[in-house]
Amino acid sequence: MIGDRRSLRGCTTCTRVVHLIVIGAIVGGVLLPIIPLVAWSVSHSWFFPEILPSELSGRAWAYIGSPLSKVLSALTNSLLIAGLVTAAAVLLGIPAGRALGLQRFRGKAIFEFLILAPIIVPGLAVIMGIHVLFIKLRLVDTLFGVALVHLLPSLPYMIMVMSGVFANYNVEIEQQAFSLGAGKIRTFVHVTLPAILPGIVTGSLFVFLISWSQYILTVLIGGGRVITLPVLLFAFAAAGDNAVTAALCIVFLAPAVLILVFTSRYLSGESGAMGGFGKL
Amino acid sequence: MSSVMLQRLSHNYSGSPLPAVDSIDFSIQKGELVSLLGPSGCGKTTTLKLIAGLLKPTSGEIYFDDSKVTNVKPEHREAVMVFQNYLLFPFMSIEENVGFGLRMRRLNKREIAGRVRQMLDLMGLEDLKDRKPSQLSGGQQQRAALARALVLQPKVLLLDEPLSNLDAHLRDEMRELILSIQRSLGVTTIFVTHDQEEAVLLADRIALMFDGKIQQIGKSKLFYEKPASRRIASFFGNNNFLTGFKERGWVTSNVGKFRIQSEAADGPVTLVIRPESILLGDQGINSFTAPVKRQIYMGTHNRYRIEVDGADWEVIAPADSHVSLEGGRVPFSLPPEKIWVMPEQRN
């Protein structure tokens, strides 16, 4: 069926040309801004009327590669924090999304609003209070504390994605698995998980990237001790060192692009299961 | 295979004031094919899920043979349910779907492969085994779902509306398949349907449910000839009712006095008669006249709509019969042995 649809779609040259233009525009829009970044990162000096940098230099990349720059440890921190946040969001998002997507209960609208609240209310509004609390709990200046506070703006996205997935999910398929002799755990592993996996991947992507690009929450709770890539990036941008800033930007972009490439097959509408495969 | 016994089985969905299943008593013999028949919302699917163990009864017990299974988890109950919309696992091939239950039972690979192949053969699915469910037609999906259940050699096979998602000619084919496989494997089977014709064609016995209660149990003939209530008669397509007062072998009604043969107690009664049992013309006994409102030629028979005591009756007569629709009243007769007499019900 999917194959049929595809062949129908590409049947006239006219639509094919439109497709090429659209795809070209998207790819161009994403890739073009990266070109000046690359140019900046290898330039010695680059001033206004020049189309290309007049003098090239490997200084920025050499600096980033050197242990002095702390780029490697910032990269590790960023990955660790974003990984932790994503794992926590998956663990919390599945049951929360299931409850919101499948159950009807009293006060559900209020719960939904409360879960969305961190997206509506800026994190800064509550971070001072959280800061005080975290000082008492000895969570400030720690990686764990930063990860915890990163959940604030990211978890709502995970729950939203998962509740959408479960809203399209037919629970009877679990009953079918029980009836065929699968216990609860094996039903989850063999039936539920494959059904909701695309949702988990999509939600994780959101969460990972939100945590990855977090600056203010990291600085406030990390207190300058927990250095992540955005923290370094802001420092160099503020210092006006364009070459190092551009090189850091590329390092910052790389994991995001890589993740997108590896998960893209789950993100296309044709993976079908996007919505929990109940009603295809 | 096992016999099944339901004992005062009830189920209340939380938040609902009325029980979905209300104190059902019902026994099914080993190898029997029984239909749970009723309109939608009467509790038949709930009953099926109770037997499968997917819902916990509020009260009552379920026995397979002599052992109580009320508290046995669905995965250990060996009563396999086939859902109305098949619910094949979309990310598994047909072969993997059919083997799912055997894998969950941790059988060795060779045995699984053997049993799956045998079942795919039996169901005519061997050429489709590598396809995904979405690449199959509705009938093929239904066969795969049946294969997935039967390969487990369940004690009880539970089918929820097995034919309702299929179009007419596939339905006949699938009905024959279910019947022949049920006969050859001898698996105790309970199937739920809202279609009385389906139940009549398929089931050894029918249990008719309204409002969470079983109203009448028996062979299909019983529901046509001796319905327990007006509602049951209507459900089986018969709306020829007449109220009257029974005194020994006679019933007095607004239309006239009728001779009957019935064991029912004297008092107010309702008479029921099948459309095809009513005879055209004055046969000398139980005759009355009624205006004919419509005559429809059906090829094999004629169908008349006549007015009796303010209600519409249906009469089925031979194709060569003919009456004049011009205003006049036409004589009809009710053979006494064909009249079913029910004590008058409150509703």
Asked if the Cβ–Cβ distance from B81 to A175 is below 8 Å, we say yes
Q: List CB contacts (< 8 A) between A173 and chain B.
A: 87, 89
**Domain A70-275 CATH assignment equals 1.10.3720.10:** yes
**The predicted structure's pLDDT at residue B226:** 92
State the ipTM, two decimals: 0.84
Chain A residues with CB under 8 Å of a chain B CB are 1, 170, 172-173, 175-183, 186, 190-191, 194-195, 272-273, 277, 280
Using the predicted structure, report yes or no on whether residue A184 has a pLDDT greater than 90.
yes
- Give tens-digit pLDDT for B146-173: 999 999 999 999 999 998 888 888 888 8
Asked if the Cβ–Cβ distance from B90 to A178 is below 8 Å, we say no
- Give tens-digit pLDDT for B237-265: 898 999 999 998 899 999 889 999 988 88
Name the nearest CA neighbour of B298 among B279, B281, B275, B282. B275
The distance from CA A121 to its chain's CA centroid, rounded to whole angstroms, is: 20
**The predicted structure's pLDDT at residue A268:** 59
**The predicted structure's pLDDT at residue B346:** 54
**The predicted structure's pLDDT at residue A279:** 35
Using the predicted structure, report yes or no on whether residue A120 has a pLDDT greater than 90.
no
Q: List CB contacts (< 8 A) between A190 and chain B.
A: 89, 100, 104
**Residue in A186, A273, A277 closest to B104 by CB:** A186
Phi, psi dihedrals of residue A179, rounded to the nearest 5°: -60, -30
- Locate the domains of chain B by residue range: 4-230, 240-343
Residue in B with minimal Cα distance to A174 = B87
Interval A86-100 mean pLDDT:
96
Q: Most B CBs within 10 Å: which of A171, A180, A193, as the mutation test of the B interface?
A: A180
Name the nearest CA neighbour of B97 among B74, B128, B54, B68. B128
Q: List CB contacts (< 8 A) between A191 and chain B.
A: 89
Distance between first and last Cα of chain B: 41
Residue with tokens 């929450």: A217
- Is-contact B138 A5, C-beta < 8 A? no
E-strand ranges in A191-280 read: none
Give the count of beta carbons closer than 10 Å to the beta carbon of residue B183. Answer: 11
CA atoms within 13 A on the CB side of B205: 16
Asked if the Cβ–Cβ distance from B75 to A178 is below 8 Å, we say yes
- Is-contact A148 B21, C-beta < 8 A? no
**The predicted structure's pLDDT at residue A267:** 65
- Is-contact B313 B240, C-beta < 8 A? yes
Q: Which has the higher per-residue pLDDT, A58 or B32?
A: B32
- Is-contact B271 B260, C-beta < 8 A? yes
Q: List CB contacts (< 8 A) between B75 and chain A.
A: 178-183
Task: Please report, as a single letter, which amino acid is at residue B175.
Answer: R
Q: List CB contacts (< 8 A) between B52 and chain A.
A: 175, 179
Asked if the Cβ–Cβ distance from B135 to A186 is below 8 Å, we say no
**The predicted structure's pLDDT at residue A273:** 42
Q: List CB contacts (< 8 A) between A180 and chain B.
A: 75, 80, 100-101, 104, 148-149, 152
- Give tens-digit pLDDT for A244-271: 899 999 989 888 788 877 777 676 554 4
Q: What percent of chain B has pLDDT over 90?
A: 71
Residue in B with minimal Cα distance to A278 = B87
Q: List CB contacts (< 8 A) between A170 and chain B.
A: 85, 87
CA distance B107 to B101: 10
CA distance A82 to A102: 29
Residue in B with minimal Cα distance to A172 = B87
- Is-contact B307 B290, C-beta < 8 A? yes
Using the predicted structure, report yes or no on whether residue B288 has a pLDDT greater than 80.
yes
Using the predicted structure, report yes or no on whether residue A41 has a pLDDT greater than 80.
yes
B159–A contact, CB cutoff 8 A: no
**Residue in A170, A180, A183 closest to B80 by CB:** A180
Residue with tokens 């690359």: A38
B73–A contact, CB cutoff 8 A: yes
- Architecture of domain B4-230 in this structure: 3-Layer(aba) Sandwich (3.40)
**The predicted structure's pLDDT at residue B270:** 92
- Locate the domains of chain A by residue range: 70-275
Interval A163-191 mean pLDDT:
93
Chains A and B form CB pairs within 8 A to the count of: 72
Average pLDDT in chain A: 85
Using the predicted structure, report yes or no on whether residue A2 has a pLDDT greater than 50.
no
Asked if the Cβ–Cβ distance from A179 to B152 is below 8 Å, we say no
**Residue in B53, B83, B101 closest to A172 by CB:** B83
For residue B235, give the 3-state DSSP assignment.
helix
Interacting residues of B38 by C-beta distance below 8 A, sequence separation 6+: B44, B194, B208, B209, B210
Tell me the DSSP string of B121-163: HHTT-GGGTTS-GGGS-HHHHHHHHHHHHHTT--SEEEEESTT
**Residue in B75, B79, B83 closest to A182 by CB:** B75
pLDDT band at B17 (very low <50, low <70, confident <90, very high): confident
Q: Most A CBs within 10 Å: which of B77, B91, B93, B141, as the mutation test of the A interface?
A: B91
CA atoms within 13 A on the CB side of A263: 19
b or e along A13-39 (b: 16 or more beta carbons within 10 Å of the residue's beta carbon)? eeeeeeeeeeeeeeeeeeeeeeeebeb
CA atoms within 13 A on the CB side of A58: 3
B83–A contact, CB cutoff 8 A: yes
What's the full length of chain B, in residues? 347
For residue B61, give the 3-state DSSP assignment.
strand
Parallel, antiparallel, or unpaired for β B205-210 and B33-37? Answer: parallel
CATH number of B240-343: 2.40.50.140
B79–A contact, CB cutoff 8 A: yes
Does the fold of domain B240-343 match that of domain B4-230? no
Q: List CB contacts (< 8 A) between B54 and chain A.
A: 175, 178-179
Quote the pTM value: 0.81
Using the predicted structure, report yes or no on whether residue B287 has a pLDDT greater than 60.
yes
Using the predicted structure, report yes or no on whether residue B95 has a pLDDT greater than 90.
yes
Interval A178-182 mean pLDDT:
94
Q: Which has the higher per-residue pLDDT, B95 or A42?
A: B95
> From residue A166, how far is each of A41, A113, A191, A194, A196 by CA, in Å?
45, 18, 13, 13, 8
**The predicted structure's pLDDT at residue A36:** 85
- Give tens-digit pLDDT for B307-336: 998 899 999 998 888 777 776 788 899 999
**The predicted structure's pLDDT at residue A77:** 94
State the DSSP code for B264: S
Q: What percent of chain B has pLDDT over 70?
A: 99
Interval B5-14 mean pLDDT:
92
pLDDT band at A11 (very low <50, low <70, confident <90, very high): low
- Shortest Cα distance from A6 to chain B (angstroms)? 15
Using the predicted structure, report yes or no on whether residue B80 has a pLDDT greater than 90.
yes
Long-range contacts of B65-72 (CB under 8 A, 24+ apart): B65/B2, B65/B3
Asked if the Cβ–Cβ distance from B74 to A191 is below 8 Å, we say no
- Shortest Cα distance from A2 to chain B (angstroms)? 9
Asked if the Cβ–Cβ distance from B54 to A175 is below 8 Å, we say yes
Residue in A with minimal Cα distance to B158 = A179
